[in-house]
Amino acid sequence: FNVMLNTGKATPEQIRGWVANRFYYQIAIPIKDAAVMSNCPDREVRRGWIQRILDHDGFEIGGVKDPGGIEAWLRLGEAVGLTREEIEDQRHLIPAVKFAVDAYVNFARRAPWQEAVCSSLTELFAPEIHKQRLATWPQHYAWIEPQGLSYFRNRVSQARRDVEQGLAVTLDHFDTRALQERALEILQFKLDILWAMNDAMALKYGVNA
């Protein structure tokens, strides 16, 4: 499904379906990160981790204002032809996508905070994926308003920073063979979450070869 999106084979309906469903993942990210912080006794880690919540929810501090990633995703939705109302009221949300995202949030709430941090490391691949979208979407989908792609632009640098922090925590904590195998299990779980989301959207909207 992702390959279809990035190679110009997706229809407007498929793109809108992806954007509408991924919105549920976007709004879950700061909730997940708040769960990590609530379980983490390390002040230095919390001081760094809180930036993720600000990145997505936005902020206005000391005259500095950033609408945040969730707002940027809503603008992406408008750029592909959705209304804010239909994105926010989740009328297009596929039950299996909701189930997968909720499973991820619940894992972050219940797992040791270092495991929840480890699960975020699928972001290792995010900068390249976002750069690929920025390179191919304007070429293949000229009907999408270019300013709507700001989420992808912003996340190229933000994801790199997030990966550095998450990787530092993971390498520090998972320092035995048994723990490193556990880290791989956690990453596989997170990949399964993302795979399940794409499978659900492929079933709902189809895949064009």
The pLDDT tens digits along the chain (209 residues) read: 989 999 999 999 999 999 999 999 999 999 999 999 999 999 999 999 999 999 999 999 888 898 999 999 999 999 999 999 999 999 999 999 999 999 999 999 999 999 999 999 999 888 888 899 999 999 999 999 989 999 999 888 888 899 999 999 999 999 999 999 999 999 999 999 999 999 999 999 999 87
DSSP bridge pairs for 66: 59
Indicate the helix (H) or strand (E) that contains 164.
helix 150-173
150 Cβ neighbours under 8 A, 6+ residues apart: 72, 75, 76
pTM: 0.93
Structure tokens at 64: 């500095």
